[in-house]
Structure 1
Amino acid sequence: MGKYLPDFILGANDGIITTLAVISGVVGASLSPRIIVILGFANLLADGFSMGASNILSRRSETENELPTIKAAGHHGTATFIGFVAIGVIPLLAYLLPWFAGARFEAAAGLALATLFAVGAGRAFFTDRGWLVSGMEMLLIGTVAAVLAYGIGALGAAIVGEAYP
């Protein structure tokens, strides 16, 4: 499992960020929480698959080392996909579990940001950076992505709200 940890962490970071971005964009647009659940799961599976497949293709495109087999590259892609889906679902829990009613977006953001820090800190296992710096780096990136998605959702709703009542 150790050699697949970077792939798992990469998938997990992207899964959390994109899921939080989907949630933030939908909330920014003032759309139904049902849309969050639908788009959240569509994003988890489709984007997770895309990331895993891209990892496989990237490894199969290496020219410096011996070209890895599909099976060997597939293990890395699978680790990316599993990380993306297993950890990326965490922000959606706020919309799936009943005890978050009334503060779902706040709970989703809190769950996502705490998980981003934890997974980002996990990067310290395979980089020369400290856990605090790695965790804060991912927390900052995730926060910026969420704020951007919220703003685009709000802007999009304002623009198309006039044309599509």
Structure 2
Amino acid sequence: MPLEHSHAPDDIADRLRDGPNISYLRDWVYGGIDGAVTTFAIVAGSLGANLSSTVVLILGLANLLADGFSMAAANYSGTKTEEADYKRLRGIEEKHIHLEPEGEREEIRQIYKAKGYVGEELETLVSIITSRRQTWIETMMQEEYGLGTVQRSALKAALSTFAAFVICGSLPLIPFLFGLHASGIITTVLTAIAFFIIGSIKARWSTQSWYSSGLETTAIGMAAAGIAWIVGWLLHGLIA
């Protein structure tokens, strides 16, 4: 079984020098699935209500831009909040290390004692960690709060969500944009393919098989669209 990367000393040095890669995969997957689901749900609901292609396009495009921007803004605000909270907690640790270093050393001691270190080995480890302020703070952030040192960019997270939302959310509208016959059927097929592709790509970063992940994502998306179609059909029946 091939390894994912080289363990030659020079290759390791290069990889560590570049630092850890920040993944925005969840933002792409989240935006892509929601874009396809919500736009297709609107299309399905409109078809269930027997609305014209023009109305479907207007509602779909309005959702594509407004909801896409809303999701991106929410993701931006949420990521900024995480960033602010990280800075707040880091400030607390910096203050405590400055004002109560022995108490913070005892925290390090108890953290690693719980991991199984004892005696001279434990004291050596505590001494090494607390000998460098940066390492000390980062260890406390990780062990006490479960926070890593690498922070995600709020702007990149928001742009990833918006781009995925617009790209995947545009697919259900293509048949209506070109006035194709049987637009509902074509839209359903295109959207199902989009769901399957999103799920299949997502599997690359998980232990789930690509086809299983693709089918799961497709089932979730089509179920949402089915609910929207039923609601539109029922409302059309009541209004008519």
Q: TM-score, normalised by structure 2?
A: 0.61
Letter in 1 for 2:184: F
Letter in 1 for 2:25: L
Distance 2:72 2:159 in 1: 6
**Preserved CA contact (<8 Å) 2:22 2:150:** no
Equivalent of 1:105 in 184, 201, 219:
184
Residue 35 (structure 1) aligns with: 55
Matches within 5 A, 1:15-164: 15-62=35-82, 63=85, 64=145, 65=147, 72-98=153-179, 101-161=180-240
CA offsets per residue over residues 109-133 of structure 1, 9 Å max, x none?
Answer: 0000011101111111223322112
CA offsets per residue over residues 43-101 of structure 1, 9 Å max, x none?
Answer: 001111111112112222334547958xx211101100000001210111111124xx2
Q: Determine if the alignment matches structure 1 residue 7 to structure 2 residue 86.
A: no
Q: TM-score, normalised by structure 1?
A: 0.87
Q: Which has the larger radius of gyration?
A: 2
How many residue pairs match? The answer is: 157
Classify the secondary structure of the residue corresponding to 1:129: coil
**Preserved CA contact (<8 Å) 1:60 1:68:** no
**Preserved CA contact (<8 Å) 1:6 1:126:** no
Letter in 1 for 2:168: I
Percent pairwise identity: 35
CA offsets per residue over residues 115-152 of structure 1, 9 Å max, x none?
Answer: 11011111112233221121111110111111100000
**Preserved CA contact (<8 Å) 2:49 2:232:** yes
What are structure 1's unaligned runs of at least 5 residues?
none
